Structure 1
Amino acid sequence: MPTANQVIEQQLRERGLQLLGPCDHLSHRTELLAESALLRDFTPAEAELLGAHMLRIGAQPGQILIAEGEASDWMMILLHGTVDIGKRKVGAEMDSQEPGDTTRLAVLRQGAVIGEMSMLDGEPRYASVWALSEVEAAVLTRPSVTRLINSHPALGAKLLVKLTQQLAQRLRNTSNQLVKILRKTGPA
């Protein structure tokens, strides 16, 4: 029976993503550590431990990194490149590639975290993610987070706090956008 990591590696390969090996020397990426809201408070030693629990992948422009509706338990940290986050419009088919069938939610760059909600709760992906440029990302799985918590509890707790802070900030931003829309449209 394949391990959880082997299953994820197979999913990534099937998507056409390039597996680049472990995420060694994460602490050497000083610009990334300074820019990333998730990583900026990590010491070099903590960054190395976290990197040891992640797999590096590569994608070319136009490749899908995450597909809306898929079930998976991993997230990515963008190490290099830019991605587009999009949500299917109501009524668009699951596999539709027609222009205008998706709404752009965000464009994210180096240091951003994507897919953390599904990694944490195991629910299907809320949106799709496409590479806009050449992308290098680090994949962190739920089983890897569990191993990290068991072997380095302080680092595991720090990671979970940082992820919670990012989720709270996204919820705040979404709530603010909703309020703006409701103000424009007036009472129902």
Structure 2
Amino acid sequence: MKDIEEQLLAAGLENLGPVEHLSHWPRLMQESPLMQDFTPAEADILGSVMLRVRAQPGQVLISEDDASDFMMLLLSGTVDVVKRKVGADVDAEEPGGTTRLAVLKDGASLGEMSMLDGEPRYASCIALTEVEAAVLVRSGVARLIVSHPTVGAKLLVKITQLLAQRLRNTSNQVIRLLKEQ
């Protein structure tokens, strides 16, 4: 966990320690697509391998093109997901240099793809409001699979379902755009 703590600190995120009693976030348990099928006991087991962080408005939670092996579950707050436009300078923050992909609220998860495959981040995630998030690293998933295989399997199934839904939505958008041409 030390490595992830150093990464989060370098990003300017406040480390609030381990996630204790993930099940005590009632809206999360009811509304989060990732958490809906977890029992309170399973949610607490999942939380035991996560770190809680806080970001202030304007802070970057995830940077496009960074290589990292964690995902986040938004406990509270709102996050802007943006992608640099083709040809935009990586270091420039010029107006109009990014495209908004989504605005995410409590219960949303972000960064699953890079956590699973280790590839660079597809987009950046920036706090619009004060944000608290639970951070899960790939090694935490591995620990869950060994120590609590049912919870680990349930987590992987939920992440797979989320990614499949996003792929389906993206495919529908591509088809719609192709029809407009």
1:162 corresponds to 2:158: yes
Q: Which residues of 2 match residues 9-158 of structure 1 at below 5 A?
A: 9-158=5-154
- Whichever residue aligns with residue 22 of structure 1, its letter is P
> Given the two structures, how large is their TM-score scaled by the length of structure 2?
0.99
Identity of aligned residues (%): 66
- 2: distance between equivalents of 1:87 and 1:176? 19
The runs of 5 or more residues in structure 1 that have no matched partner are none
Shift of 1:20: 0.4
User: SS in structure 1 opposite 2:146?
Assistant: helix
- 1: distance between equivalents of 2:46 and 2:28? 14
1:48-67 alpha-carbon deviations (Å, 9 max, x no partner): 00000000000000000000
- Whichever residue aligns with residue 122 of structure 1, its letter is G
How large is the Cα RMSD of the aligned pairs? 0.6
Task: State the aligned residue count.
Answer: 181
> Given the two structures, how large is their TM-score scaled by the length of structure 1?
0.95
User: After TM superposition, what 4+ stretches of structure 1 lie above 4 angstroms from structure 2?
Assistant: none
- Whichever residue aligns with residue 108 of structure 1, its letter is L
- 2: distance between equivalents of 1:41 and 1:70? 31
